[in-house]
Amino acid sequence: MRVGILAGGLGTRLAEETEIRPKPMVEIGNMPILWHIMRIYLHYGHREFCIALGYKGDYIKRWFSDYMTAAGSMTLETGRKSVQFPEDAEDLPDWKVNLVETGSRTRTGGRIKRLRRWLGEETAMVTWGDGVADIDINKLIAFHRSHGKLATMTAVRPPARYGHIEFDGDRITSFTEKPQIGEGWINGAFFVLEPEVHDFIEGDHEMFEHGPLSRLAEAGQLMAFRHTSFWQCMDTMREKSILQNLWTAGEAPWKVWK
């Protein structure tokens, strides 16, 4: 199944990093968060990606080109103007990556619509280029196929910003660091979409999270796959630090690959 990843936003709340690179290229453990997201999908056998470019899309193109050439040996024949890559790059994932220009000011709905010909006329997956989870992609797809609707959104409980304290009078009886909120669900991306979903998007100006999803819900065509364990987006430097600390400690829940 093809996977679309939106990687064209400005990332203004992460300006310390995104002045020089697009947000999906901000690194966790010396690799872009985009790489982490793609590794999650590859672990479940999905290797063809359509990445929607916008802000600083040239940075992403250069990164993939450099990643391929730096991963293993190279043989150059200058007279023939030939470059060959022997198959010894053991750490290079088996990906097919389509880097698709979708406009610098196009919004999320428009980017998805512009990916239509790349995603094809079959069921596809779409997610944002700034969030990771320990989501079971096989269960997500099985859920989508079980209900027969046009769209499945992964619903998550956001992590609390601060630790949770319980009291007995003024005495603290328990303290839990950053628990998952016990109620309330939000859009966690990791969508599964039928091709007809594109007909619910009016054009470049639309945020997928607003009009299109509302129209799908009103039509009874939007279902929620409830993911109850780890999920984390990277909108701020604080959230980047959370992900980096988990990776450095060897406790990254989203690292489902070996």
Determine, yes or no, domain membership for 190.
yes
Query: Which residue has tokens 């056998």?
Result: 45
Instruction: Please name which of 140, 130, 137 lies closest in space to residue 242, comparing C-alpha atoms.
Output: 130
Determine, yes or no, domain membership for 228.
yes
CA distance 231 to 64: 26
Percent helix / strand / coil, the chain, rounded to 5:
30, 25, 40
Determine, yes or no, domain membership for 257.
no
Do the beta carbons of residue 36 and residue 26 sit within 8 Å? no
- Alpha-carbon 255 to chain mean position: 14
Structural domain count, the chain: 1
Which regions in the chain score pLDDT beneath 70? Answer: 71-72, 86-91, 160-167, 170-183
State which residues form the domain around 240: 3-248
Determine, yes or no, domain membership for 255.
no
pTM, entire model: 0.88
Do the beta carbons of residue 167 and residue 73 sit within 8 Å? no
Residue 179 has what pLDDT?
57
Write the CA distances from 36 to 148, 205, 254, 255, integer angstroms.
Answer: 30, 29, 8, 8
Determine, yes or no, domain membership for 236.
yes
Determine, yes or no, domain membership for 102.
yes
CA distance 131 to 199: 26
Residue 151 has what pLDDT?
96
CB atoms < 10 A from the CB of 52, how many? 28
Instruction: Please name which of 32, 101, 102, 96 lies closest in space to residue 63, comparing C-alpha atoms.
Output: 32
Residue 75 has what pLDDT?
81
Any idea what the CATH number is for the domain that residue 190 is in? 3.90.550.10
